[in-house]
Structure 1
Amino acid sequence: MPLGQELAPHLPFLRRYARALTGNQKEGDTYVRATLEAIVAAPEDFPRDVDPRLGLYRTFQAIWQSASVDTGVDGGQDNSPTEAIAQARLARITPRSRQALLLTAMEGFTTEDTAYLIGVTPAEVDALVAEALAEIERQTQAEVLIIEDEPIIAMDLETIVRDLGHGVTGVAVTRDEAVAQAMARRPGLVLADIQLADDSSGIDAVKDILAQFDVPVIFITAFPERLLTGERPEPTFLITKPFQRSTVKAAISQALFFDGATVPA
């Protein structure tokens, strides 16, 4: 089978990882395109001694790790706006500990595979994940709006959110209810299902909310491939149903990580 056909089924999920890693759809998808361009330019360099998905992520990691950050700072003690912007951009770079957490908790790689992907030992992966989890424990608490029409799933999400130390502003089951609750009590994070009780859309609910104020959003869907095409504006953070507790935890912490490292205008 041609290499392109082997890699195609894994591209949506690489986009999910790249977007979570960068906190931005456009930037994440750009890294994915750069990965594919590197593979096309030098197919003989693609690691063929491992599973195609593992080789794809390994190539992506090489692109990610080699990408330089242009801070525009000469190393001096510059307190200018340029320095502030540079430092904010540096703060938005996902550290290796969070890469390890995303690869294991969100992408489902084993400790051994993750070690291969980021170039460390399995023991170091365990230490990095523990470091990321410790950082999450220190993370600022947020008030979360849950938009989910399935009661059991909504209860599960609410339990996870509260166990992480966050509050819940409410649970909405329709678009109109979600918008009303957001306006009544502004959340610091939104968890939104795609398909809601009255056949309304969680995406439309979020669009209505974002028209009023900015807030990080995590979408939840049983069909992630439909929102990971890279062909149109799509979610930055996406959780696949059925989800694991660790996946939700990683997604929430990463969304709040970027929300707390906003680049000044």
Structure 2
Amino acid sequence: MLAQETVDLSATVARHLPYLRRYSRALTGNQASGDRYAVAVLEAVVAEPTTLMQHDDPKVSLFSVFHSVWSSSGAPVAEADAGLAGMAQAHLAKLTQNSREALLLNTIEGFDLREVSAIMGIDMDEARHLIDIALREMEESVRGSVLVIEDEAIIAMDIAAIVEGMGHRVTENARTHSEAVKMAAADKPDLILADIQLADNSSGIEAVNEILSQFGDIPVIFITAFPERLLTGERPEPAFLINKPYTEEQVRSAVSQAMFFSSTDSLRN
């Protein structure tokens, strides 16, 4: 391969890798296992660079390589069979095959039906059918309480309406770090949905970390206009990350995914 081609290949992969890693982690429910799949995809691309040219869009090609690796491995989720991971696996066994992959590709990663069908190697009608099935099955799997941490009132109201429309209970809406910690202590949530920049210039990430230090494992969804800042690979990253501006489908999908992978005894099975 020519030097320029190598540079172009590296730049293409680097541009799309944060999103591939986000998808992989959401799919497996675990950062470590998700990143192992991302590494396997990189190894496959290095071994056969032409795989990035199998579709017109290199990003579609990269995700298509992922699905080849994912399918050949049997599409497992996080390795542990106890605790939250074990509960997630039990729920996963009840879902229609391939439906969650189609849902994530469409609603979280933003691929249209044609691209989803190309990535998964299925026709568009099947892709649409799988997405509809996944939304219904995952929303029906669990119900819980949600703490919204968002300083923009209109956005907070919109998120609350979406979450409550899914059958979950919104405990509170916090606008600052201190409010978030106080509200979580007063009514422990099953899920946290947080912006990263709050009204008093405090950090939603720091607020979430303080809450988690008190209560342990609570699933978290971050909403941000700058997802690259949280997808660096330099520290633990959220499995569920929504870009601003978001769509209702993205919020519904992420909430269903997060609840699905982190079912606790307080959630309705």
Whether 2:206 is the aligned partner of 1:207: answer no
Q: Deviations over 1:117-170 (max 9, x none)?
A: 112111111111111122134222111000011111111111111111111000
What is the CA–CA distance in structure 2 between the aligned matches of 1:190 and 1:131, rounded to whole Å? 25
In structure 2, the CA distance between the partners of 1:3 and 1:261, relative to structure 1 (3 Å rule), is farther
SS of residue in 2 equivalent to 1:3 = helix
TM normalised by structure 2 equals 0.86
The residue aligned with 2:33 is 27
Q: How does 1:120-139 map to 2 (within 5 A)?
A: 120-139=122-141
Find the aligned partners of 2:46 and 2:21 in 1 and give their Cα distance: 18
Matches within 5 A, 1:75-224: 89=89, 91-92=91-92, 95-213=97-215, 214-224=217-227
For the residues of structure 2 that align with 1:90 and 1:52, how far apart are their CA atoms? 35
The one-letter code matched in structure 1 to 2:39 is R
Q: Which one of 248, 251, 258 corresponds to residue 255 of structure 1? A: 258
Q: Measure, in 1, the Cα distance between the counterparts of 2:154 and 2:166.
A: 19
Q: Which ranges in structure 2 are unaligned for 5 or more consecutive residues?
A: none
Matched, 1:38 2:44: yes
Q: Structure 2 vs 1, CA of residues 261 and 63 (structure 1 numbering), >3 Å: closer, same or farther?
A: farther
Distance (whole Å) between structure 2 residues aligned to residue 173 and residue 233 of structure 1: 24
1:204 aligned counterpart, secondary structure: helix
Greater mean deviation of Cα atoms: 43-52 or 124-133:
43-52
Q: Is contact 1:92–1:261 with CA below 8 Å preserved after alignment?
A: no
Q: Report runs of 4+ in structure 1 exceeding 3 Å deviation.
A: 44-49, 68-71, 85-95
Match of 1:232 in 2: 235
Contact 2:145/2:171 (<8 A) preserved = yes
Shift of the alpha carbon at 1:176?
A: 1.1
CA distance in 1, matches of 2:75, 2:130: 22
- The answer on whether the counterparts of 1:188 and 1:216 sit within 8 Å (CA) in structure 2 is yes
Is the Cα–Cα contact under 8 Å of residues 60 and 119 in structure 2 kept in the other structure? Answer: yes
Q: Say whether the 8 Å CA contact 1:103–1:109 is kept in structure 2.
A: yes
Q: Does residue 1:47 correspond to 2:53, yes or no?
A: yes
Q: Is the 8 A contact 1:224 1:240 kept in 2?
A: yes
Q: What's the CA shift for 1:260?
A: 2.5
Deviation string 1:187-227 (CA, Å, 9 cap, x unpaired) is 11000110111111111111111112221100111100111
Structure 1: segments with no counterpart, 5+ residues: 72-80
Amino acid at match of 1:191: L
Between stretches 49-58 and 39-48, larger displacement belongs to 39-48
Give 1:235 deviation, angstroms. 1.2
Deviations 1:3-51 (A, max 9, x none): 1212221111111111111112222122111111111122234434421
Shift, 1:109, TM fit: 0.9
Partners of 1:140 and 1:7 lie apart in 2 by: 36
Contact 2:176–2:200 at 8 Å: present in 1 too?
yes
1:6 paired residue number: 12
